[in-house]
Amino acid sequence: MFSAILREFLLPLLVFLLLRSLLRSLFAALRPASRPAAAHPLQQPAQSGGVLKKDPVCGTYVSTNTAVTRTVDGDLVYFCSPECAEKFSA
């Protein structure tokens, strides 16, 4: 009698609980890996990379990655904004 209950209910229940905890740990292992990977490419380009160049119009230092550039007499000049670039060439 007891072994019949064990076979019919407890074993499937144990298998179910085991599978559920297995899936949970699997998701827990996947989530921390996927979240920072998705967040980093958005944060890094704005902060890192490039060389700082001085905007000759307003004196602000700008990254060569994000700066507005104009070629003046063969030299590449960096500006913080299109407005500064317009003022410089004017």
Q: Is 84 in the site for Zn ion (CB under 5 A)?
A: yes
Please, are residues 78 and 62 in contact by the beta-carbon 8 Å criterion? yes
Shortest Å, Cβ 79 to Zn ion? 5
- Whole-number minimum distance, CB 89 to Zn ion, in Å? 13
53 touches Zn ion (CB under 5 A): no
Q: Name residues whose C-beta falls within 8 Å of residue 54's C-beta, 6 or more positions apart in sequence.
A: 60, 61, 62, 78
Could you tell me the CA-to-CA distances from 43 to 24, 37, 60 in Å, in that order?
29, 11, 22
Q: CB of residue 48 vs Zn ion: minimum separation in angstroms?
A: 22
Rule CB under 5 A: which residues touch Zn ion? 55, 57-58, 60, 80, 84
